[in-house]
Amino acid sequence: MSVWRTLAETVRIRRRRSRQRCQLAAMSERELQDCGMTRSEVEYELKMPTPRR
């Protein structure tokens, strides 16, 4: 895989993870409960740095 493809894929992954984290932060208590998560688990996840890969 070329360097540019690898870089583009890395950017896509980071953007997708960022969107997912924003959606998770915007969920209501009921939606979180449906997913089996608590607000404290979400807070913990949002404080963690985004994995590099």
3-53 per-position pLDDT tens digit: 999 999 999 998 998 898 899 999 999 999 999 999 999 988 888 876 665
Please give the pLDDT value at position 39: 92
State the total domains in the chain: 1
Question: In this structure, is residue 9 part of a structural domain?
Answer: yes
Q: Could you tell me if residue 52 is inside a domain?
A: no
User: Is position 11 within any domain?
Assistant: yes
The domain containing residue 34 runs over which residues? 3-47
Give 5's DSSP letter. Answer: H
Assign residue 2 a region: left if phi > 0, alpha if psi is -120 to 50, beta otherwise?
A: beta
Is 43 part of any domain?
yes
